[in-house]
Amino acid sequence: MKNKTLQLAGVLALVAVIGKFYAVPAYAQVRAALVQNRDEVGRNFYFVNASCSTVTFGYCQLDFPAVPAGKRLIVKQVSALQAMGALNSIQSIDLRTKNHQIGAFLTPKAMPANNSTLAYYAENESVLVNFDAGDQPEFIVFTNSSANFTSVVTLTGYMIDIP
């Protein structure tokens, strides 16, 4: 009987030693697999350019691709350059949805290299504007001049999944 008790104690000690050394790494691996950030900015980066030129009807309307189903677009930065045919001719600049819900008004800044034939204006602004699935971002420059002008725009941000 004493021999069987010693054997049982030895088996229990061996199981305890094996459990001590092998249970912790297996638990750590399972925990690491459960952590994930699916909406991380770097995973779903958004960068789109658009331009219009030789506009003669008082505004430039730039339409960007519609947001796909199940997504939300977060625009964080708007960069734009306008080459206007006349000084002080910009009335307003805004970022909106195609159905005219304004997300941000932008402030044009005159560039120091203005000359007698063209006036350059730039915008490089941090914004926080969201567009839901199906929304189409739109950038519009309104002018009070009938002179031709050119506008180049870049939107940057990221997309997130909407459950």
Q: How far apart are the C-alpha atoms of 1 and 144, rounded to whole Å?
A: 105
Residues 48-66 have pLDDT tens digits of: 999 988 676 788 899 999 9
For residue 79, what are the contacts with CB-CB under 8 A and spacing of at least 6?
Answer: 122, 123, 124, 153, 154, 156
Between residues 90 and 27, the one the model is more confident about: 90
**Of all residues in the chain, what percent carry a pLDDT higher than 70?**
72
Between residues 15 and 121, the one the model is more confident about: 121
Closest by CA to 46, choosing from 67, 21, 16, is 67
Do 132 and 67 form a contact (C-beta atoms < 8 A)? yes
- Domain spans of the chain, in order of start: 1-35, 41-161
According to the model, what pLDDT value does residue 35 have? 58
Residue 3 burial (CB count, 10 A): 7
According to the model, what pLDDT value does residue 34 have? 56
Q: Which CATH number fits domain 41-161: 3.40.50.150, 3.10.450.50, 2.60.40.1660, 2.60.120.20?
A: 2.60.120.20
Between residues 147 and 123, the one the model is more confident about: 123
